[in-house]
Amino acid sequence: MPTIKKQTEQAGTDWTRVKREAAQDAPVPFMPESDPYDPNDADAVAAYWAGATIKRGRGRPAAAVKRPTLNMRIDAEVLEAFKATGPGWQTRINAVLRDAVTHGRA
C-alpha cells in the first residue's frame, strides 16, 4: 500500500491572503522608473492593454490551407511500415496518396 506524504509547507497561492488584501482595497505598489503603467489608474491600465499584442508561442505556424481530418482503416503492416520511418510518417502517407492521384492510380 503506498504511503501518503503529509504536506508540511503550503504550496501554491495563499487565497486567504489574496482575499484579505483585496478587501482592504490598498493601492498596488507602483515604480514609475521600471513599471510600464500605473496599475492604480484605470485609464492607464486600459490604454496599456489596448496597445498590447499577442505573441504566439512555440509550435508549428498556422497553415495557409487547413487540411481536413481523416479517419480510415488500413492494414496494420502498412501503418507500422510508415511509422517505422520516424517522425513525419503522416506527411509521407499524404505524399504517396497525392502521387497516386496525380498519376491516375486512385
Q: What is the dihedral of CA 86, 92, 96, 97, to 10 degrees?
A: 120
CA-to-CA distance for 38 and 53, rounded, in angstroms? 19
User: Could you tell me how far CA 103 lies from the centroid of its own chain?
Assistant: 40
- Asked whether the predicted pLDDT for residue 4 surpasses 70, the reply is no
pLDDT of amino acid 6: 60
In the block, cell 510600464 appears at: 36
pLDDT tens digit string along 5-22?
A: 565 566 789 999 889 888
Instruction: Read off φ and ψ for residue 93, nearest 5 degrees.
Output: -60, -45
User: Could you tell me how far CA 88 lies from the centroid of its own chain?
Assistant: 21
76-100 in b/e form (b: 16+ CB < 10 A) is: eeeeeebeeeeeeeeeebeeeeeee
pLDDT tens digit string along 36-79?
A: 999 999 999 999 999 998 887 788 777 888 888 889 999 999 99
